[in-house]
A and B are shown apart, each in its own frame.
Chain A
């Protein structure tokens, strides 16, 4: 079987490069009209364990150094090249547009972490069912208010970055972490890091994690019906 790694514009510029993919397999390419896919061959489907996931990400990053690409979600495997080519063909229009949108750009991740001390364990101790549920509801509402407040602060901190790099997506706050992904021109990476880091002194009680450059995972086209997106 073959497992897709990324959608690329053309395999031509990758010819001659010996890039390794998942499970230390050599990266191969299949073309379909104006797009191509990078893939690896496997006898069984790779398991979703941390080692494979990290290796998969590294393989996509090695490709990213040589070509504009759209990363394919882990575990997208086909029983034959023909089947994969059919799926690519059905989606070639959306994929080509997606490639165009991320050309020359990378994704930068920003996570803003609340201090550990503010994330308290549950204090509910009631043994009566009704009391417990009411206390749990009140606690949850308090958590949601805290999340909203954290999100407002995160937006405030990142406001200059949002103005300069307006193409961003935000994930829901989870476990005290507000998470953003920005699409940034490749040449702006250092500028972006600097811009984000200088905004933090205003809130020394928070911690910030800036990661990247990543492939544009958060900016891939949404294929609502992958069989219905034609060129």
Chain B
């Protein structure tokens, strides 16, 4: 996906991903998001995704991203 986007489009998407996935109030939730079988986001503990680039990469592969309780 990144190769098909101009640098500015890429940066605009990163602006959103940086905020929604990596910033904001972190509260202890009950739900854990995971990618494949590797837990990347322990919402119940702390959000571990810190790389917007990684999130952008994952968003182009939605089948790899699952949510589970």
Interface residues of A (CB under 8 A from B): 1, 3-4, 7, 44-50, 53-54, 56-57, 70-79, 83, 87-88, 91, 95, 98, 109, 111, 113, 116, 171, 174-175, 177, 179, 207, 209, 211, 214-215, 217-218, 220-221, 223, 226-227
In the bound complex, do residue A77 and residue B25 qualify as a contact, i.e. CB atoms below 8 Å apart?
Answer: no
Report B-chain residues with C-beta under 8 Å of the C-beta of A47.
33, 62, 65-67
Contact between chains at B20 and A57 (CB < 8 Å): yes
Binary contact readout B13-47 vs A (1 if CB under 8 angstroms, 0 otherwise): 11111111111111111110100000001010001
Find chain A residues with CB under 8 A from B22 CB.
73
* C-alpha spacing A1/B14, complex, angstroms: 28
Chain A residue nearest to B58 in the complex (CB): A48
| Inter-chain contact B27/A223, CB cutoff 8 Å | yes
Residue numbers of B with Cβ under 8 A of A are 7-8, 11-31, 33, 41, 43, 47, 52-53, 55, 58-60, 62, 65-69
Are B27's CB and A76's CB within 8 A?
A: yes
With A73-B24, A77-B43 as known contacts, state yes or no: A46 contacts B59, CB within 8 Å: no
Q: Provided the pairs A48-B59, A111-B11, A111-B15 are in contact, do residues A91 and B31 lie with their beta carbons within 8 angstroms?
A: no
Closest-by-CB residue of B relative to A49 is B62
Residues of A within 8 A of B20 (CB): 53, 56-57, 71, 73-74, 217
Q: Name the distance in Å between A89's Cβ and chain B's nearest Cβ.
A: 11
> Could you tell me the distance in whole angstroms from the C-beta of A227 to the nearest C-beta in chain B?
7
CA distance A79 to B68 in the complex (A): 12
Selected from A45, A49, A54, A79, the residue in CB contact (under 8 A) with B16 is A54
Q: Which residues from chain A contact B43 at a C-beta distance below 8 Å?
A: 73, 75-77
A-B pairs, top 5 by smallest CB distance, nearest first, are A45-B67, A217-B23, A73-B24, A77-B31, A50-B59
Q: How far is the CA of A211 from the CA of B18 in the complex (A)?
A: 13
Q: Least Cβ distance of A107 to chain B in Å?
A: 8
Closest B residue by C-beta to A218: B23
Report whether A83 and B25 are in contact in the complex, using a CB–CB cutoff of 8 Å. no
Q: Which residues of A contact B8 (CB under 8 A)?
A: 113, 207, 209
Does A221 lie within 8 Å of B18, measured CB to CB?
Answer: no
Asked if A1 and B25 sit within 8 Å, CB to CB, the answer is no
Contacts of B15 in A (CB 8 A): 109, 111, 209, 211
**In the complex, which of the residues B7, B24, B62, B68 contacts A72, with contact meaning CB atoms closer than 8 Å?**
B24
